[in-house]
């Protein structure tokens, strides 16, 4: 028995070390002009507000889902879509001209050139503290990160008939009315640090899409922290396309109703 316990302890330690190494992974690109940050480093940067995180993608993509805390600026005009790059002048305005302020850029993952192009243009413009999270939005999601959706993108997302809408409010509030087809996973059911019973039940009773973990899942609630808590818990269960809306439920419902009327 003692030997078995030692073996299990060694396996758990190796698993933890492996998980940590994944969080610290970068592309390690050759001849980089700007350093990369890992997912673990980005989490720490965001937790400590040590840099401005800039989403280098177009506004629509940013609004649909972005890493929580990221900002976005307009594109440099006059370029075709395949050469899209954020406007350096807009970045300078965002930072009040502070070209030494720490910046972290990201876009759509390893093969995406938007953050690379923006990094090069920022360096040419005299910015001195630029890094990239080149794993980007796909890497963030794959490693258990939920994204944030802006209210302006809700009518667009509503056109996705495969999307799953999760109401994070308490069951009594949910029973009083929700979005059509929404499913209730209340924040009160989460028990941090313990077995997530509510997640297990939601998997078994059909509230979560167990046959396609890439299904778009959008979480809303009475407020942003409530929605994010449930979104984070769902993303932590290996669902790869989870976002939350920080706007309160009444605003979410109003925006979707207005969008539905316009579509008629």
Please report the domains of the chain, with CATH numbers, ordered by start residue.
Answer: 26-141 (3.40.250.10), 144-263 (3.40.250.10)
Exposed, middle or buried: residue 165 (CB in 10 Å: 0-12, 13-18, 19+)? buried
Q: How many residues does this entry show for the chain?
A: 264
Nearest to 219 by CA among 146, 156, 125: 146
The three-state secondary structure class of 191 is: coil
Q: Is the pTM of this model over 0.75?
A: yes
Q: Is the pLDDT of residue 255 over 60?
A: yes
Euclidean distance between CA atoms 169 and 186, whole angstroms: 5
Q: Is the pLDDT of residue 15 over 90?
A: no
Confidence of residue 18 (pLDDT cuts 50, 70, 90): low
Proportion of the chain above pLDDT 90, given as a percent: 81
Confidence of residue 19 (pLDDT cuts 50, 70, 90): low
The three-state secondary structure class of 86 is: strand
Q: What is the mean pLDDT of the chain?
A: 90
The three-state secondary structure class of 127 is: coil
């Amino acid at each position: 028995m003692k030997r078995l316990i030692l073996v299990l302890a060694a396996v758990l330690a190796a698993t933890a070390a492996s998980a940590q190494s994944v969080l610290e992974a970068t592309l390690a690109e050759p001849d980089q002009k700007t350093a990369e940050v890992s997912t673990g480093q980005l989490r720490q940067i965001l937790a400590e507000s040590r840099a401005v995180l800039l989403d280098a993608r177009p506004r629509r993509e940013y609004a649909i889902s972005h890493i929580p805390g990221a900002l976005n600026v307009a594109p440099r005009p006059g370029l075709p879509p395949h050469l899209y790059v954020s406007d350096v002048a807009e970045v300078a305005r965002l930072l009040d001209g502070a070209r030494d302020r720490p910046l972290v850029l990201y876009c759509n993952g390893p093969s995406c050139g938007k953050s690379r192009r923006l990094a090069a243009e920022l360096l040419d413009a005299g910015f001195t503290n630029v890094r990239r999270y080149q794993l980007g939005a796909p890497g963030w999601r794959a490693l258990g990160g939920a994204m944030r959706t802006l209210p302006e993108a809700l009518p667009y997302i509503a056109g996705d008939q495969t999307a799953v809408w999760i109401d994070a409010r308490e069951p009594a509030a949910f029973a009083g009315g929700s979005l059509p087809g929404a499913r209730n996973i209340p924040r009160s059911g989460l028990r941090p640090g313990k077995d997530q019973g509510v997640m297990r039940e939601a998997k078994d009773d059909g509230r979560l899409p167990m046959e396609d973990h890439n299904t778009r899942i959008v979480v809303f609630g009475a407020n942003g922290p409530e929605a994010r808590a449930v979104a984070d818990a769902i993303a932590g269960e290996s669902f790869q396309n989870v976002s939350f809306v920080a706007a309160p439920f009444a605003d979410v419902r109003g925006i979707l109703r207005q969008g539905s009327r316009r579509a008629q």
